[in-house]
């Protein structure tokens, strides 16, 4: 396993092409726009080397028998699924944001299941290839970016019917030693500070979409790969100071990118699906359910911090004992623990797959994420209600530190006499950071938009069975 310093050093050895705000980023560890995201992911390496967190952060590899970081682990029991959720909540409590390794973990576990099935039914050897890849990842403790979401183009058309074929990643050539792929993946969490990306399909496919049925592993700095770093709410405040950023050490969400692949070569040993379109939908569902399981862990950990910041703001404002404040905080706690309960439930209800690994309860996993699309917004609304409107209109940090305006700000934004104005502002900026646009949009659309969960809930619910129960109790007999 790598520690924090070794992880950062490993990134220095890579040379991905990354553009941000009109210029190329040469060093993701040092650049102020990407450094907070590196810090957040580095926490997953730091905690894995801390004996106090060993039980959650590490596991024994089912492939090599060695001790590994849990973010490279193939789940071997329902207990593994539960530990994953508890681990995510714990890390989020320490970073207050996304730590980026979940997508890759979920993509790897989904790939292990699907390649096993393809091999069994089609006589391929994808599973052996992927098992070897997993040994490689575990041995090096690589951070793998799970790459699922394509730009999609015209949503009314399938991948093979798009005017521009590159709007979904597809195979353009099969060669003796590998394949050539072209296209792009959007909203790529943690891509710029990962070592590898694991490409997988993003939707169900038909016969005309065979070239889009591709799964493969590609280094982030492979020839032909370009990453365009996305904007986040208040991101350029990182260039201006410490206070206005809110969470200067760990940023906002996951440092997402648009990752473009222009005729990228992939050797056969890193190809895990090549034309088997009939397995794409199951691939998507397996990945999505694993990923939706996460939100009752990581987002609940974030909510822990939001609730703590909100309660602190009430104290700083001088009204921590008001009954309506307590009632609103209780409501926030109720919503976050409901998400956590669902996440634990889908884990405890996990079952063993034919590949030998464990998979979450699909129905409950989708319930987790659908709750999150609502509850994180309501938790944030209540935080704004309690904190007060000044979190939206605070002056610049430079004005706070200015010799003329600073004393005025400290005088007129003072509240609880036992708390400095600067500390009150710092806590307000943290809340602004954690409950603003980018963070909430990710809660809504990360791991799939609400309608995707609704479809899965209906598909996984035995409606006919429920109707039968009702008819039996009503003593209805049908011919």
Taking residues 269-297, report their average pLDDT.
96
Out of 276, 397, 432, 442, the active site residue is 442
Taking residues 200-208, report their average pLDDT.
95
Q: Which of 412, 98, 362, 130 is nearest to 251 (CA)?
A: 98
Is 189 part of the annotated catalytic residue set? Answer: yes
Taking residues 206-219, report their average pLDDT.
97
What's the confidence (pLDDT) of residue 470?
A: 87
CATH for the stretch 291-473:
1.20.140.10
Out of 127, 195, 227, 291, the active site residue is 291
Token look-up 């709750």 returns: 371
Out of 98, 216, 342, 346, the active site residue is 98
What's the confidence (pLDDT) of residue 445?
A: 72
Q: Which residues are annotated as a binding site for FAD?
A: 189
Is 310 part of the annotated catalytic residue set? Answer: no
pLDDT band at 447 (very low <50, low <70, confident <90, very high): low
Residue 341 in contact with residue 296, Cβ under 8 Å?
yes
Q: pTM for the full model?
A: 0.93
Range name among 27-41, 52-66, 318-332, 438-452 with the lowest pLDDT average: 438-452
Is 256 part of the annotated catalytic residue set? Answer: yes
What's the confidence (pLDDT) of residue 456?
A: 84
Out of 20, 102, 274, 372, the active site residue is 102
pLDDT band at 453 (very low <50, low <70, confident <90, very high): confident
| Burial group, residue 466, by CB count within 10 angstroms (0-12, 13-18, 19+) | exposed
Cβ burial 213-222 (10 Å sphere, 16+ → b, else e): bbbbbbbbeb
Q: pLDDT exceeding 70 applies to what percent of the chain?
A: 99
Domain assignments of the chain as residue spans, ordered by start: 4-277, 291-473
Sign of the alpha-carbon dihedral angle for 213, 215, 220, 222: negative
Out of 20, 216, 274, 298, the active site residue is 298
Is 460 part of the annotated catalytic residue set? Answer: no
Paired residues of 146 in beta bridges: 198
Whether the per-residue pLDDT at 61 is higher than 70: the answer is: yes
Q: Which of 128, 243, 148 is nearest to 189 (CA)?
A: 148
Is 396 part of the annotated catalytic residue set? Answer: no
Q: What is the pLDDT of residues 300-355, one digit of tens each?
A: 999 999 999 999 999 999 999 999 999 999 999 999 999 999 999 999 999 999 99
What's the confidence (pLDDT) of residue 448?
A: 76
Q: What is the pLDDT of residues 354-399, one digit of tens each?
A: 999 999 999 999 999 999 999 999 999 999 999 998 898 999 999 9
Number of H-type helices and E-type strands within the chain: 16, 14
Is 397 part of the annotated catalytic residue set? Answer: no
Is 75 part of the annotated catalytic residue set? Answer: no
What's the confidence (pLDDT) of residue 87?
A: 98
Residue 183 in contact with residue 150, Cβ under 8 Å?
yes
From CA 18, how far away is CA 229, in angstroms rounded?
A: 7
Is 98 part of the annotated catalytic residue set? Answer: yes
Tokens standing for residue 220: 């982030």
Q: What is the 3-state secondary structure (H, E, C) of 1-58?
A: CCCHHHHHHHHHCCCCEEEECCEEECCCCCCCCCHHHHHHHHHHHHHHCCHHHHHHHE
Fold of 4-277: Butyryl-CoA Dehydrogenase, subunit A; domain 2 (2.40.110)
Query: E-strand spans in 83-199?
Result: 144-147, 170-174, 178-185, 196-199
Q: What is the pLDDT of residues 107-116, one digit of tens each?
A: 999 999 999 9
| Burial group, residue 51, by CB count within 10 angstroms (0-12, 13-18, 19+) | exposed
Phi/psi of residue 196, each to 5°? -135, 160
How many whole angstroms from its chain centre is CA 34? Answer: 17
Whether the per-residue pLDDT at 441 is higher than 80: the answer is: no
Helix (H, G, I), strand (E, B) or coil at 358: strand
Query: What Rg do the C-alpha atoms of the chain give, in angstroms?
Result: 24
What's the confidence (pLDDT) of residue 290?
A: 96
From CA 341, how far away is CA 269, in angstroms rounded?
A: 40
What's the confidence (pLDDT) of residue 234?
A: 82
User: What is the average pLDDT score of the chain?
Assistant: 94
Helix (H, G, I), strand (E, B) or coil at 224: coil
Taking residues 392-420, report their average pLDDT.
96
């Amino acid at each position: 396993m790598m520690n924090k310093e070794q992880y950062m050093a490993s990134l220095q050895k890579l040379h991905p092409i990354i553009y941000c705000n009109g210029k190329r980023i040469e060093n993701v560890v040092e650049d102020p726009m990407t450094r907070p995201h590196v810090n957040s992911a580095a926490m997953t390496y730091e905690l894995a080397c801390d004996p106090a967190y060993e039980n959650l952060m590490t596991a024994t590899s089912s492939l090599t028998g060695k001790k590994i970081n849990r973010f490279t682990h193939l789940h071997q029991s329902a207990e593994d699924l539960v530990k994953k959720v508890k681990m995510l909540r714990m890390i989020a409590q320490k970073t207050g944001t996304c730590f980026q390794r979940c997508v890759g973990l979920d993509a790897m576990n989904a790939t292990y299941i699907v390649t096993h099935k393809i091999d069994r039914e089609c006589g391929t050897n994808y599973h052996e290839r992927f098992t070897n890849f997993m040994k490689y990842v575990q041995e090096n403790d690589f951070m793998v970016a799970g790459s699922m979401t394509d730009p999609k183009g015209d949503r009314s058309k399938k991948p093979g019917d798009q005017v521009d074929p590159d709007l979904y990643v597809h195979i353009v050539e099969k060669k003796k030693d590998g394949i050539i792929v072209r296209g792009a993946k959007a909203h790529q969490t943690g891509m710029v500070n990962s070592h590898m990306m694991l490409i997988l399909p993003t939707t169900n496919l038909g016969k005309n979409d065979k070239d889009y049925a591709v799964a493969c592993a590609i280094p982030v700095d492979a020839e032909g790969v370009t990453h365009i770093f996305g904007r986040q709410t208040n991101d350029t405040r990182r260039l201006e100071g410490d206070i206005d950023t809110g969470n200067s050490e760990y940023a906002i969400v996951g440092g997402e990118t648009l990752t473009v692949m222009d005729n990228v070569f992939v050797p056969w040993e890193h190809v895990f699906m090549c034309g088997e379109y009939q397995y794409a939908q199951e691939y998507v569902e397996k990945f999505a359910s694993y990923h939706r399981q996460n939100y009752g862990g990581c987002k609940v950990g974030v909510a822990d911090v939001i609730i703590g910041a909100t309660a602190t703001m009430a104290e700083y404002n001088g009204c921590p004992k008001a009954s309506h404040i307590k009632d609103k905080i209780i409501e926030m706690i109720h919503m976050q623990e409901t998400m956590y309960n669902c996440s634990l439930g889908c884990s405890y209800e996990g079952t063993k797959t034919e590949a030998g690994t464990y998979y979450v309860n699909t129905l409950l996993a989708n319930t987790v994420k659908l709750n999150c699309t609502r509850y994180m917004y309501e938790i944030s609304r209540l935080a704004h209600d309690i904190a007060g409107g000044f979190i939206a209109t605070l002056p610049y940090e430079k004005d706070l530190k200015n010799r003329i305006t600073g004393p005025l700000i400290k005088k007129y934004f003072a509240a609880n006499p036992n708390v400095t104005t600067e500390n009150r502002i710092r806590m307000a900026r943290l809340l602004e950071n954690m409950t603003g646009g980018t963070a909430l949009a990710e809660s809504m659309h990360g791991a799939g938009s609400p309608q995707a969960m609704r479809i899965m809930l209906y598909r996984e619910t035995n409606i006919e069975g429920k109707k039968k129960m009702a008819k039996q109790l009503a003593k209805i007999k049908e011919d």
